[in-house]
Structure formats: C-alpha cells, structure tokens
C-alpha cells in the first residue's frame, strides 16, 4: 500500500535537461555570483560601501576562525608562557570553541546579505564580543599567564577595527534601506 503510494509520485530530477541544475538548488551555490548579484541589486553608494565593509569583515573573520582552528596557538605564544599543561589546554580549548562559534555565525551572516537586520545582528554580536573582551579580559587572566603588552595592544586594535567596521556597515545598511524606501 505505501510502496504504491510513493511509487506513483514522480521525484524531481537533480538536473534539468541538458545537465543544468535548477536555479533554486544548492547545487548552484556560487558565492562570487551571489556577491555580483547583490552588488548589482544595491541602489546607492552606501549599499556598495556596506557590501565592501560587511563582506570584508565577515570573510576576514571566517578566515581567522579557520586559522585558529588549524593552529590555535599560532600568534599567542606569549600567553602560553608559564602556564601549566592544564591551563594551556584550557586556553586552547577556549580558542577553538570560540573559533567554531565564530565560523558558524559568520557563515550564517554571509548567507544573510546586507539586509539591515543581518548587518545589525553582526553589529550586536561584535559589540557584545568587544564588551566581553574589554570587561573580562579572558585570555590574559589565567593564573601564571604573562602580561604580553604588545600582543594585547594588537588584539585591542583588531577588536576596535572590527567594531568600527561593523558600526559603519550598519549605518550604510540603513542608508541602503532608506534609499529603496523613497
């Protein structure tokens, strides 16, 4: 009974005639084509600036997350000096967990485009992340960790650059949104 019920339904082919995938299929996912289409769909200079800022920031964060997953201690050697094995592994675990969450979030954000809600969400997450880093200072306050002033200054500069990039992107996203409303 069930076999005949399902056998009567025709399943959709994965490819159209001639071997071309349907346009709504995930088989046609092409980030460059999607960026080009979104670039052409923007209506203002602010939208184009927003795209540059937003996708530049998002793709840098994706690349950074992948690099941290591949080599979590690279660039952070100063923070590991003087730590016990347990503390060192705890910090490494924290960096990897942060990288996995960051990678997933920014892949999702890249898929969402330069809509105001998406850019605003990225701004809110960056603002919260910046606040947590500046208030709690997590990698620098493990017992026995050195101060690493030069590395901390670089980290603070990167955090501020990402924060201000997200502030400008959300402003330009609003400009793009308002330009389409009138």
Structure confidence by residue, pLDDT tens digits, 102-114: 899 988 888 888 8
pLDDT band, residue 14 (cuts 50/70/90): very low
- Domain interval for residue 146: 30-181
Mean pLDDT of 42-66: 87
Q: Is residue 8 part of a domain?
A: no
Residue 13 DSSP class: P
pTM of the model: 0.70
Q: Which residue has the higher pLDDT, 55 or 32?
A: 55
Q: Is residue 136 part of a domain?
A: yes
Cα-to-chain-centroid distance, residue 87 = 28
> CB neighbours of 90 closer than 8 A, spacing ≥ 6?
142
Q: Is residue 172 part of a domain?
A: yes
Q: Is residue 103 part of a domain?
A: yes
Cα gap 105→108, rounded to integer Å: 5
> CB neighbours of 150 closer than 8 A, spacing ≥ 6?
78
Mean pLDDT of 58-86: 85
**Count of domains forming the chain:** 1
Q: Is residue 55 part of a domain?
A: yes
Mean pLDDT of 51-79: 87
Dihedral sign, Cα of residue 140, residue 141, residue 143, residue 148:
positive
Q: Is residue 152 part of a domain?
A: yes
Q: Is residue 7 part of a domain?
A: no
Q: Is residue 12 part of a domain?
A: no
Give the range among 11-15, 28-32, 150-154 with minimum mean pLDDT.
11-15
pLDDT band, residue 79 (cuts 50/70/90): confident
For residue 22, the model assigns a pLDDT of: 47
**Digit-coded pLDDT (tens) for 128-159:** 877 877 766 655 555 556 677 777 788 788 88
């Amino acid at each position: 009974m069930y076999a005949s019920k399902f056998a009567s339904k025709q399943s959709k082919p994965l490819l159209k005639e001639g071997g071309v995938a349907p346009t709504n299929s995930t088989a046609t996912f092409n980030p460059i084509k999607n960026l080009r289409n979104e670039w052409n769909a923007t209506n203002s200079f602010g939208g184009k600036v927003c795209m540059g800022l937003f996708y530049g920031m998002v793709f840098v964060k994706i690349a950074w997350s992948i690099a941290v997953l591949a080599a979590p201690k690279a660039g952070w050697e100063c923070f590991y000096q003087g730590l016990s094995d347990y503390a060192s592994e705890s910090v490494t675990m924290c960096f990897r967990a942060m990288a996995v969450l960051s990678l997933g979030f920014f892949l999702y954000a890249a898929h969402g485009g330069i809509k105001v809600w998406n850019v605003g969400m990225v701004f809110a997450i960056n603002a919260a992340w910046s606040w947590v880093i500046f208030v709690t200072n997590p990698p620098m306050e493990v017992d026995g960790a050195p101060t690493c002033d030069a590395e901390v200054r670089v980290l603070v500069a990167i955090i501020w650059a990402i924060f201000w990039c997200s502030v400008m992107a959300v402003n330009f996203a609003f400009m793009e949104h308002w330009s389409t409303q009138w």
